[in-house]
Amino acid sequence: MSDGHRTSTIARPRLPNGDVRPVRSGALRDLTAPIARDKQLVQQRRGRVILGLIATLIALAIGAALFVLPVKSWMHQRDDLATRTSELAVLDAANSQLQGEVDRLQTDAGIKEAAREEIDYVDQGEHRITVLPIGPAPLTLPSGWPYNLISQIIALRQAEAVNASTTTTSTP
């Protein structure tokens, strides 16, 4: 401080070619000063963000592979097991019914009964009689005194039956 000038120990900003950047003073300097951006820092931040997103996606995929998919598979297997168990119960009931039939057919009485039902077997000394179902009785009666009265009664009863059936079907 011998000349009355102050010397600063702060290095002046330099341009890429080595020249000293002019220093602006005052409020104008704040508005016109270039904003220092280090392109490498910005690119490094972008790279870190992308790397973080990729790592998060990988972690989610591993989590899904280790937890979500096995739980989903387990629940599907549990439902399938319940279905198969109910089918097994039905099949066991059918098997027990068939086993009872086999046990019955292994006796002499069961064999005889099955032969009678299936092939119409008859023992010696028995006679087989086939009875056919009876069809409806004919309604044509001869004309004359007692038969006219019966024909009228049958006609009235048939009319009453038709009226009763139409009345019951038409009422809600």
What is d(CA 94, CA 100) in angstroms, rounded to the nearest whole number?
A: 10
What are the tens digits of pLDDT across the range 15-70? 666 665 555 555 555 555 555 555 555 667 777 888 899 999 999 999 888 888 88
**CB 139, CB 130: distance < 8 Å:** no
- Whether pTM > 0.75 for this model: the answer is no
Rounded to 5 degrees, φ, ψ at 167 are -70, -40
* pLDDT tens per residue, range 111-128: 888 888 888 888 888 887
In angstroms, the CA 33 to CA 20 distance is 15
Token pair, residue 19, equals 């020249």
Name the token pair of 26.
Answer: 């005052």
Contact call for residues 33 and 27 (beta carbons, < 8 A): no
